[in-house]
A and B are shown apart, each in its own frame.
Chain A
Amino acid sequence: MKPLFTKRPSPNFGLAVCVFASLVLLACEQKALLTPFRELFASAIYPLQQLVNSPVQAARKFGEVFSSQAHLLDENEALRREQMLLKVKLLKFSALEQENLRLRGLLDTSFKLGEQVMIAELLAVNLVPYEQVVVVNKGSRFGAYPGQPVMDANGVVGQVLRVTPYSAEVILITDPNHAIPVQVNRNGLRTIAQGTGQIDKLSLPYLSSNADIQAGDLLVTSGMGGVFPQGYPVATVVADTGQGKVFAKFGAAPLAKLDRNRELLLVWNKPDPIPRVPGQVSTPKGGSADHAAK
């Protein structure tokens, strides 16, 4: 490696150059000019993340190998029961889906059904406190793209922020820089849920004081931004009643288990099949980002 300053004129000069370079980088970043470079860097960093992740993964594997048979049998039984319940629900669901399509056909409206999903595992890596971004182990080689919605079994988790060939950074819906268009499931009232920086709280800043909303309401994605498909559960409304407030302020609690899930679902909102084998990526369609810069 060649030294940056071969003769090293003086630290003063070095500082001036470095500060200038940093400010240029920051300015470029502000205009989002550096994405290709960042991807390059991030791929270089990936082995380091894997290294940090590996002991955790090894411990997990170890635990799986040595868990007792009785425990496994119990778990198996519970899963079988749950699957049966879900199957029964699904039976009804498919009938409803058909009916819905037929009715929508009568109304001449298009309605997209059939999203595809892929399971991505969380890498045990911490990024920055107070910024809610996590790293998963599926990247552009599996067809992940920036702006892609990410779910778990309970609800919306967030969206893909950046991808590298082997990993992707996912910004959670609770990040202060993230906003998601939602709809009250009960009456269709549309609003926007913003992250607060706390893992268990979303804020609803754009509600008028006479809006028809109450604690316990389910918020689902409204599909307005074009990023999140319509109708996925996001959060439940909670009232935030303090003393001396005439009107109750409303917040929301995310349904997805943001701080304890290990597997996330990447969702494709397009009809053609996603590659099951890495590498055969059909050009991913980039959605417009909901990731609002305030």
Chain B
Amino acid sequence: MLQSKVATKLVVLASLLVAMVLRILPLPKEWFVYNPDWVLLFLIYWAIAIPERVGVGHAWCAGVSSDVLTGGMLGQHALAYSVVVFVCVKLHTRLRAYPLYQQVLPVFLLLLVNQLLIFWTQNIKGAHSTELIHWSPSLVGALVWPAIFTTLRRVRRHYNIA
């Protein structure tokens, strides 16, 4: 029992580290604008799959790491991630029941909420762009969601995490 608990933690932590690497991948400038928020996508998956183990507290910690990683203000990502993961934990039964392609829409909305919160906190600091392309990471994130879902589900089953 204890063994599996530790294993769960390690797997979740490792997956989040991978997500952070994806987040700061040295893509060309034109592509980087579309790079979705991998950390949040992975968190959403874990919050839906094992809501008893991964909750708002974990999201907050991952958010602070994201803040440091992206050089933003401390607390921006922490706030947004906690709120989004809270919604996921609350609605996990419903989200699980949707077929994969239908999950894309709620995931898109959650990512938008995340970006909106970050945009809002960003505005404390100063002026920012409000171009439409600014929101494209949410769209790209929602489109890659099925791939993330199936990959992480395979990982979860492989390590017997329930």
- Write the residues of chain A forming the contact surface with B, with a CB cutoff of 8 angstroms: 1, 3-5, 8, 11, 14-15, 17-19, 21-26, 28-30, 34, 37-38, 41-42, 44-45, 48-49, 51-53, 56, 124-131, 133, 161-162, 169, 176-177, 197, 199, 259, 293-294
A24 CB to nearest B CB, Å: 8
Chain B, interface SS category: helix
Stretch from B66-74, B99-107, B141-149, B154-162 forming part of the interface with A: B66-74
A42: nearest chain-B partner, CB-CB: B68
Interface residue from B24, B35, B58, B78 paired with A22 (Cβ < 8 Å):
B78
27 contacts between A and B (CB under 8 A): A4-B57, A4-B60, A11-B86, A11-B90, A14-B86, A15-B82, A19-B79, A21-B60, A22-B78, A22-B82, A25-B64, A25-B75, A26-B124, A29-B75, A48-B69, A126-B32, A127-B24, A127-B70, A127-B71, A128-B71, A129-B35, A130-B128, A133-B71, A176-B127, A177-B126, A259-B29, A294-B126
Contact A51–B82 (Cβ < 8 Å): no
> Does any Cβ of A come within 8 Å of B76's Cβ?
yes
The residues of B with any CB-CB pair to A shorter than 8 Å are 9, 17, 20-21, 24-27, 29, 32-33, 35, 52, 55-61, 63-65, 68-76, 78-79, 82-83, 86, 89-90, 121, 124-129, 134
A4 and B61: CB pair below 8 A? yes
Q: How far is A176 from B73 in the complex, measured between Cα atoms in Å? A: 15
Closest to B77 in A: A22
CB contacts (< 8 Å) of B70 on chain A: these are: 127-128
What is the distance, in angstroms, from B124's C-beta to the closest C-beta of chain A?
A: 7
B26–A18 CB distance below 8 A: no
Closest to A198 in B: B129
Q: Is the CB of B57 within 8 A of A29?
A: no
Query: Would you call A126 and B74 a contact (CB within 8 A)?
Result: no
CB–CB B134/A130 < 8 A: yes
Chain A CB within 10 Å — which of B33, B57, B72 has the most?
A: B57
